[in-house]
Structure 1
Amino acid sequence: MNETLTSILSNSPAEPDDDNVPLIGRSMARMRLLTGRRLIGRLAIQSAAPGLELSHLDVLDAVRRAQPAGEVTVGLIAEMLRIDPSRASRVVADMVGRNVLRREASQADARRIVVVMTAAGEALLAEIRAQKFAIISQIVSDWPEEDVERFATLFDRFIGGYEAIFLSRDKDTPG
């Protein structure tokens, strides 16, 4: 028996002690379906910017995440989103046309073009985020405040544990 399988089997009970672990598993499966369909993003776009597609939101978010680390290129956006560079270029061009992004010469190398978020892009992202938070707030609106606080803490802890297990077992992660 390989070491990983032996470790998994020795560190986890064969059957959960109660119905909570299977309930978490079933809930995760339902959430995966909702997340896969990107329902919160779709609802936020419907409210904040009906003409946009999810790919537009993905590009904006990629630019937001990458800008603090340095200059953002179409190639970097494509890499971050795991899409073809030509697709990334088309979405960026559309967003430039909407005045949400702009292209400018790199400060480090004037031959290279970088993508920068405009004030309109920042406002749009803020509105999308506000819409997402409004949806989450609506979901928990009838929960007691203590439940919301406890859920936020426990969910964050659960996701942290999930990430830690993934990182410890992912063969593609340098370590």
Structure 2
Amino acid sequence: MNETLTKILSTSPTDPDVNLPRIGRSMARMRLMTGRRLIGRLAIQSAAPGLELSHLDVLDAVRRAEPAGEVTVGTIAEMLRIDPSRASRVVAEMVGRNVLRREASQADARRIVVVITDAGQALLAEIHAQKLAIISEIVSDWPGEDIERFATLFERFIGGYEAIFLSRDKDTPG
């Protein structure tokens, strides 16, 4: 028996030498699909023709930052790692489309903050619905136990991934 076949036959289903590369390959495939921004494109087609993916990025940044306090263009630029002038242009476009609005800060009236409008909330809801519809279609033939186990393990994996990234990323404060 040749060496490769012997190794394949002697590996167990829990062998990290087999499974870790499988995870890596699956991550690469997912990165390619995510890079194509399939969910965002579908949401734009159905809910907001004329918007661009960068608009959705800004909207999502505002949504994620709002719980921590007031959101400024600087906050958005930092979160998306883009130039503040680019963030300002995209915010201005979204204000013009009534997805975001600018208002005076409650803490410092000299500062302008960015807030999601009702139309922006509706767009976020549509994006969320698109995402859930796609996930639902993917797992439609999975047993409920598999969905529950995958959700638990995927959350754990992503949490570990984020923790390692944050501990090693030189551009992340703290």
- TM-score bracket relative to the smaller structure: 0.7 to 0.9
TM-score between the two structures when normalised by the length of structure 2: 0.82
* Deviation for aligned residue 1:137: 0.8
Q: In the alignment, which residue of structure 2 is the partner of 1:9?
A: none
1:64 counterpart = 2:63: yes
* Deviation for aligned residue 1:171: 4.8
Runs of at least 5 residues in structure 1 that lack an aligned partner in the other structure: 1-15
Q: Which residue identity lines up with residue 79 of structure 1 in the other structure?
A: E
Q: In the alignment, which residue of structure 1 is the partner of 2:12?
A: none
Aligned length: 160
> How big is the alpha-carbon RMSD for the aligned residues of Structure 1 and Structure 2?
1.9
1:49 counterpart = 2:34: no
TM-score between the two structures when normalised by the length of structure 1: 0.82
- Once the two structures are superposed, the pairs formed by residues 151-170 of structure 1 within 5 Å of their partners are 151-170=150-169
Identical columns (%): 89
Q: Which residue identity lines up with residue 107 of structure 1 in the other structure?
A: Q
Give yes or no for contact 2:102–2:114 (8 Å, CA) kept in 1: yes
Give yes or no for contact 1:48–1:131 (8 Å, CA) kept in 2: no
Runs of at least 5 residues in structure 2 that lack an aligned partner in the other structure: 1-14
1:105 counterpart = 2:119: no
Q: In the alignment, which residue of structure 2 is the partner of 1:75?
A: 74
Separation in structure 1 between the aligned mates of residue 166 and residue 59 of structure 2, nearest angstrom: 26
Separation in structure 1 between the aligned mates of residue 69 and residue 62 of structure 2, nearest angstrom: 10
Q: In the alignment, which residue of structure 1 is the partner of 2:92?
A: 93
Q: Which residue identity lines up with residue 152 of structure 1 in the other structure?
A: A
Structure-2 change in CA distance of 1:103 and 1:174 (3 Å): closer
Separation in structure 1 between the aligned mates of residue 156 and residue 109 of structure 2, nearest angstrom: 45
